[in-house]
Amino acid sequence: MSETVLAARVGALHRSGIRAVMALAAQRERAGKPVIHLEVGQPDFPTPAHILDAACRAMQNGLPGYTPNAGITSLREAVAERVTRLNGRPVSVDSVCITSGAVAALQLALLAVVEPGDEVLIPDPGWPNYRSATTLAGGVCVPYPLNPVRGFAIDLDALAARISARSRVLMLNSPGNPTGAVFTAEQVASVLALAEQHGLYVLSDEVYEDLVFGGARHASAFTAASSDRVILVSGASKSYAMTGWRIGWLVAHPALAAGAAALVEPQTSCPATIAQVAAEAALRGPQDAVGTMRDAYGRRAQLAAACLEGTGLLVARPSGAFYAMLDIARSGLDSSMFVQRALEISGVAVAPGSTFGAVAAKNVRVSLASSDDAIREGLRRLADLLPG
């Protein structure tokens, strides 16, 4: 039997530690042992009823087949209207490409602008898929640190020091995963100015843009003052509890959006038609559910802070998304070992900080997309694992 030899790019991928924990938790549950799930960014709300109704009506009336590579025109128009309304920058339908989830939008954007050997500046800590998407595009990851002492704010001097002649793209994520940080308008403006000075593309992941609380305000990189080298990525997954529908979007200069659409053709042809119909219903329909979810996540962030008061575990109080970072340094374990111990001894699943980068190597991420009881009990058990 001949040996199976995979392409080098497969081995070069930065596999997510979140998925590894999910697999271990599932294995524990199959053995009949309960798990408190605080590891995955999965909204615990159902997809709103009016979105489901729109999808059902479309199926009953007979869906069209393939859509254009860039997506259904009416959905692209809805995205353009949303971005124009939220960011004060007029956007045309030609600037929008619908994708199979925001993760696909990130990948398409990098494939469209990165040449082999180009450097991509990624936040540390940052979502693990940023690394894999860069690798698949032939780029080289250059992490830049977020400062935990300052609530995971961008260290502008450290970022500037990492820019080289090979730098091509600067990735930005606010509200942040895994940190829950929300960058101020001043921070975003400083980053944009730095990127413009060096001729960089700014790839801004704003998929949590609707989930901001605690007095913070979302400052989009895609503003009226932004250049044509800013690429906005967002989607329906988090704002509308539509993770499994797999609909995201990329908004950029029309030439770049067209390039992304061209790359869709050999990969998926187009996003799923029924999911596009549902996403349009989400954008054009009632927005009450978005506010309900945002308020719930804000209340859970307050709950987490109250539960951890006096423990020294909470690195920074989150202002957006639905995550919090905990400092587990005094356990004496690296984050991967601590995660295994938390699952085996306490039945609590959390994500290892090391999967997000070196800055978070002594942290774990907890997801606040769980019930109050799960958060309260899970945090209590985690605190009990650590020496006083």
On the CB side of 191, CA atoms within 13 Å amount to 33
- The structure tokens 């693990």 sit at 128
| Mean pLDDT confidence for 223-238 | 92
pLDDT confidence band for 17 (50 / 70 / 90): confident
DSSP 125: S
pLDDT digits (tens, 9 = 90+) for 108-122: 999 999 999 999 999
Structure confidence at residue 2 (pLDDT): 76
pLDDT confidence band for 356 (50 / 70 / 90): very high
* Tokens linked to 80: 């353009």
DSSP 158: H
End-to-end Cα distance, the chain: 57
Whether the predicted pLDDT of 218 surpasses 90: yes
DSSP 326: E
Alpha helices (H) along the chain: 8-12, 17-30, 49-61, 73-87, 102-113, 129-136, 156-161, 185-197, 254-264, 273-284, 288-308, 335-341, 372-385
| Mean pLDDT confidence for 330-341 | 95
Element (H, E) at 93: none
Distance (Å, rounded) from C-alpha 259 to C-alpha 384?
52
pLDDT digits (tens, 9 = 90+) for 185-200: 999 999 999 999 999 9
pLDDT confidence band for 254 (50 / 70 / 90): very high
Whether the predicted pLDDT of 388 surpasses 80: no
Structure confidence at residue 208 (pLDDT): 98
More confidently predicted of 388 and 34:
34
Distance (Å, rounded) from C-alpha 85 to C-alpha 211?
17
More confidently predicted of 305 and 223:
305
* Tokens linked to 240: 């509308």
Whether the predicted pLDDT of 88 surpasses 70: yes
Domain ranges of the chain: 8-46+288-385, 49-284
pLDDT digits (tens, 9 = 90+) for 200-209: 999 999 999 9
pLDDT digits (tens, 9 = 90+) for 278-311: 999 999 999 999 999 999 999 999 999 999 999 9
Structure confidence at residue 1 (pLDDT): 63
Distance (Å, rounded) from C-alpha 90 to C-alpha 66?
29
Whether the predicted pLDDT of 136 surpasses 70: yes
φ, ψ of residue 25 to 5 degrees: the values are: -65, -40
Whether the predicted pLDDT of 244 surpasses 80: yes
| Mean pLDDT confidence for 178-184 | 97
Question: What's the Cα-to-Cα distance from 169 to each of 119, 160, 231, rounded to whole Å?
Answer: 7, 13, 10
Domain 49-284 CATH (choose: 3.30.470.20, 3.90.850.10, 3.40.640.10, 1.10.1200.10): 3.40.640.10
pLDDT confidence band for 153 (50 / 70 / 90): very high
| Mean pLDDT confidence for 141-154 | 97
Can you give the pTM of this predicted structure?
Answer: 0.96
Distance (Å, rounded) from C-alpha 91 to C-alpha 94?
8
Sign of CA dihedral 257, 262, 264, 269: positive
Structure confidence at residue 63 (pLDDT): 85
CB proximity list for 198: less than 8 A, separation 6 or greater: 163, 167
Distance (Å, rounded) from C-alpha 277 to C-alpha 186?
37
Is residue 236 within 8 Å of 242, Cβ to Cβ? Answer: yes
Class of 8-46+288-385 in CATH: alpha beta
φ, ψ of residue 297 to 5 degrees: the values are: -65, -35
3-state secondary structure of 196: helix
* Tokens linked to 339: 């995660």
pLDDT, mean over the chain: 96
Across the strands, what pairs with 98?
Answer: 249
Structure confidence at residue 361 (pLDDT): 96
High-pLDDT (> 70) share of the chain, %: 99
Query: Count of CB atoms within 10 A of residue 13's CB?
Result: 14
pLDDT confidence band for 72 (50 / 70 / 90): very high
Pairing mode, strands 140-147 and 119-124: parallel
Is residue 91 within 8 Å of 322, Cβ to Cβ? Answer: no
